Structure 1
Amino acid sequence: MDVPELLRQAARQVPAGLPVADVDSYLAHGEWETALDVLLDLGDAHPATTSFWRTLGDAAHGMRLDRSAAWCAWRRREVLHGVIRAELRLLPGARRHPIPGAGRLRSLWNIGLVTPAGEPGLAVALIWVEFAPDLPPGGRGSVRLAPLTAADWRHLGPGDPITMHDGRAVCGAAVITEAAFPAGRDHRRRPPAG
């Protein structure tokens, strides 16, 4: 399927009543990236389906827009498993390299889990840096987290502190700003005790 048709297909999946008329105008003038941006904004501002994000991702791939395609895959995952956002502060001197922004770094997090031996049970999550291409060493910023096992994170809510680890060493401190999980599931499950 060609890129304009993929964008039209995504526009048809936007909830009724939302403005998508501009998309056809942009497509008629060959402004595919602008049409994609309009649809990305609509998907971020209003509930969207996994199909919507998959279709937009296919369109972004067709335009060779790798970061946009990665964002669509990320948002599709969030529809399935939930959204976790946090304000992260990297400790000075704890990292030598920036955290890449497009969800490529898998990090360890202390989210309050405990192993049977009574040690902190670290959980794994990918990091997406919001509003920047990366997060520099010692920097701070808004991030989205995609846990390897989303169920382990359901006890978290806004205001909860978590720590980022490099091995066992703490390299960052974060505060949850949003934790929203798919309907029909327990959102505040207590972490398993050892």
Structure 2
Amino acid sequence: MDVLELLEAASLLAPADTPAENALTADDVWDYLAHDQWETALNLMEEFRGAGPLPVSFWQSMAEAAEELRLEGSRSWCWWRWAEARSGVIRARLTLRPAAETRRRLPIPGAGVLKPLWNVGNRAPDGGPSLNIASLWVENTLELPPGGTASVRLRPLTPSQWRHLAPDDVITMHESAPVAGTATVLEVRPPVEPPLPQVGEGLR
């Protein structure tokens, strides 16, 4: 499918009255598509909210359109949301320890690159803590410096090991021996649809 077909397919999966952050709706998106303003239409649909979770196929079409338009930031974000639709959403408020207290000296990249270990309360057979891997997306900023605080999204490698989490639970992030950061869970949502076979760039 070409870019227009992909964006049209995505827009048809969102209710017509679904608002974006700037109060425009899916109906408004069609006006941009009709005038070949594809990047604007894609950016608007990235911000859809308020009508419940959007399906896996919506985010797949969006990600493939972003790839065709060579919009790297949008491509990464839409594949991230595709993965969340399959595995569930976990958002938290993360505070990193200051550089003087950990080995980290550089900021954490924001766009889902880092895959640290997390203590979410699971136990190993010997009774000690069992750490779990989850990718980390920092919201509304390109990076999070040591000592900084931000809202983050977590994408577990094994989602079933995180199902017990609830808002206000406290979890810790680990990159070496000392705790690297502490996070308070803000939101936990189940998958939109049952897991599907891996498609395209979704988990790369």
1:27, 1:126 → 2: CA distance? 33
Residue-by-residue CA offset, 1:31-72 (whole Å, 9 max, x unaligned): 211100121112686321111100000011111111211111
Residue-by-residue CA offset, 1:146-193 (whole Å, 9 max, x unaligned): 0011111111100000010013321101100011113799xxxxxxxx
Matched, 1:47 2:53: yes
Structure 1 match to 2:28: 22
Structure 2 match to 1:7: 7
| RMSD over aligned Cα atoms | 1.9
1:20, 1:29 → 2: CA distance? 15
Code of the aligned partner of 2:178 = A
- 5+ residue gaps, structure 1, are 186-194
1:81, 1:66 → 2: CA distance? 23
1:36, 1:25 → 2: CA distance? 12
Report deviation, 1:73.
Answer: 1.0
Matched, 1:167 2:173: no
Query: Across the two proteins, how many residue pairs are aligned to each other?
Result: 185
Cα 1:44–1:62, aligned 2, differ >3 Å: closer, same or farther?
A: farther
TM-score by length of 1: 0.88
Structure 1 match to 2:85: 79
Identical residues among aligned pairs (%): 49
User: Contact (CA 8 Å) 2:156, 2:162: kept in 1 or not?
Assistant: yes
Q: 1:35 aligns with which of 38, 41, 49?
A: 41
Structure 1 match to 2:132: 123
The structure carrying a bigger strand percent of its residues is 1
User: Contact (CA 8 Å) 2:135, 2:155: kept in 1 or not?
Assistant: yes
Q: 2:97 aligns with which of 91, 101, 110?
A: 91
Code of the aligned partner of 2:7 = L
Cα 1:35–1:85, aligned 2, differ >3 Å: closer, same or farther?
A: same
Report deviation, 1:89.
Answer: 0.3
1:96, 1:35 → 2: CA distance? 39
2:3, 2:193 → 1: CA distance? 35
Report deviation, 1:29.
Answer: 2.8
User: Contact (CA 8 Å) 2:17, 2:27: kept in 1 or not?
Assistant: no
